[in-house]
Structure 1
Amino acid sequence: MAYDLEEQEQIASFKAFWAKYGNLITWVLILALGAFAAYNFWNKHQRDQSVGASALYDELTDAVTAKDNAKAQRIASDIQSKYKRTAYAQMSALGAAKTAFEANDLKTAKTQLQWVVDNGNDEYKSVAQLRLAGVLLDEKNYDGAMQLLNAEYLPQFSAEVADRKGDVLVAQNKIADARNAYVAALAAMGPKHPGSQLVRIKLEAIGGTAPAAAAPKAAA
């Protein structure tokens, strides 16, 4: 088919444009398509990771309920090695630490909790540090426990940290400091906190008095 002059000029202009910018446009399209494919692959990978980790975590929960420490440790190790970047890895380590502690396997409990401290997000790390400090307290490693309690925590854990510090200080027979720690815990908890009654009992047992704001109100 013959082209008229105007069409020939348009074709010539297009050829000149493509000769100048064609490679650039092609590479931009390739990169865009590649990024889109990578995004879809990553989303699928994340979904697959979550499904696989969730299935293993269900098995871990059953092992924890059954107090099967050996099985819990195997499953937790599997989750941590295969699905390290998922929340299930952090939760599995905490669950395995609980089972190990109940089995008096303190070395394994500490290892699992330390894994969360080293690999977890800020919230799970705070939980793990508190629990690890408790294990060290049971081992009478008071300096190690206090060092952990003086580490960084999310603000919402301030009451629990102060409470655990009080426990360590009582064990060290630093009664005045323990009272201050329990008072600080009660102040951070408020009277409606589910743990406040236990802290009041501990405070009163060492001769302390709960601050008025933290004390339970008498019935009218």
Structure 2
Amino acid sequence: MDVYTTEEQQIEAIKKWWQTNGNSVLIGIALAIAAVLGYQYWTQNEQANSEAAAVLYGQVVEAANQAEQNRLQGNNAELEGQLATLNHLGEQLKSDFASSEYAVFGALMLAKQAVMEGKPEAAETQLRWAMEHTVSDATRLIANLRLARVLAARGQYDAALQALDAVEPGVQGDAYEEVRGDIYVAMGEQDKARDAYKKAMDLSADRNEGQSRPILKFKYDNLLVAGN
């Protein structure tokens, strides 16, 4: 009888607890289920967006390849149409999937095409967009280096040097110093150019078992000859 009474008391206690806390428990369960379902939906949506961005980027790459073939073959009429397609697809990729690295790659490709078309201002716009939207430090360094080249090509040497100084290039240090040397050559600052090329050679050698990239020595030696 004592056991029965104890069980009855336990049941009654559970009922009272449920009356007091039942709604909170149900709400908690509902929130947990909603969180799980929401995460699953977000994951599936992210995957779908990534796949769609990849497909569109593939179309951008194909358009760029077709444009390059037409350029090499001198098919100017077809080239013009292909470039229009490339720009349309690239801008669509940036608009629809701005948070995707595929959009960043698309912007870099549009920048390259703009340079080839002799449109440095358009190239600068694309490169700055890529730098603002990428989540990859390595990609940002590449875009920044290309931006410095574009600025230098426009005669904006101080801005180009500032772009190089604005970041820590890390393993791309030799490439950054090479561009710095190129800029100083364009400015007529041969001593500074030699120093930059020498630093680029040293950094390149550190990365390649003591062997620097041949182009760096070529540029450095040319300045030595010019200085004699």
SS in 2 for 1:190: helix
Moved over 6 A (4+): none
Distance 1:195-1:127 versus aligned 2 partners, 3 A rule:
farther
Task: Calculate the TM-score normalised by the size of structure 1.
Answer: 0.86
Partner of 1:120: 134
Instruction: Measure the CA separation in 2 of the matches of 1:195 and 1:80.
Output: 37
Equivalent in 160, 171, 175 of residue 190 of structure 2: 175
Partner of 1:15: 15
Equivalent in 94, 99, 102 of residue 116 of structure 2: 102
Task: Calculate the TM-score normalised by the size of structure 2.
Answer: 0.83
Instruction: Measure the CA separation in 1 of the matches of 2:113 and 2:37.
Output: 42
Partner of 1:202: 219
Amino acid at match of 1:20: T
Partner of 2:42: 42
Q: Quick check: 1:162–1:184 contact (8 Å CA) kept in 2?
A: yes
The C-alpha deviation readout for 1:167-204, integer Å capped at 9, x for no partner, is 00111111111111111111111174897100110010
Distance 1:49-1:195 versus aligned 2 partners, 3 A rule:
farther
Amino acid at match of 2:218: I
Q: Quick check: 1:69–1:103 contact (8 Å CA) kept in 2?
A: no
Q: Is the counterpart of residue 133 in structure 1 residue 148 in structure 2?
A: yes
Deviation at 1:75, TM superposition (A): 1.1
Q: Percent identity?
A: 27
Aligned length, in residue pairs: 205
SS in 2 for 1:84: coil
The C-alpha deviation readout for 1:75-133, integer Å capped at 9, x for no partner, is 11111111111110111101111112112122221111110122222222111111111
The C-alpha deviation readout for 1:3-26, integer Å capped at 9, x for no partner, is x64543232111112123222222
Q: CA RMSD in A?
A: 1.9
- Which residues of structure 1 form unaligned runs of 5+? 209-220
Instruction: Measure the CA separation in 2 of the matches of 1:44 and 1:162.
Output: 44
- Which residues of structure 2 form unaligned runs of 5+? 68-81
Equivalent in 85, 88, 92 of residue 71 of structure 1: 85
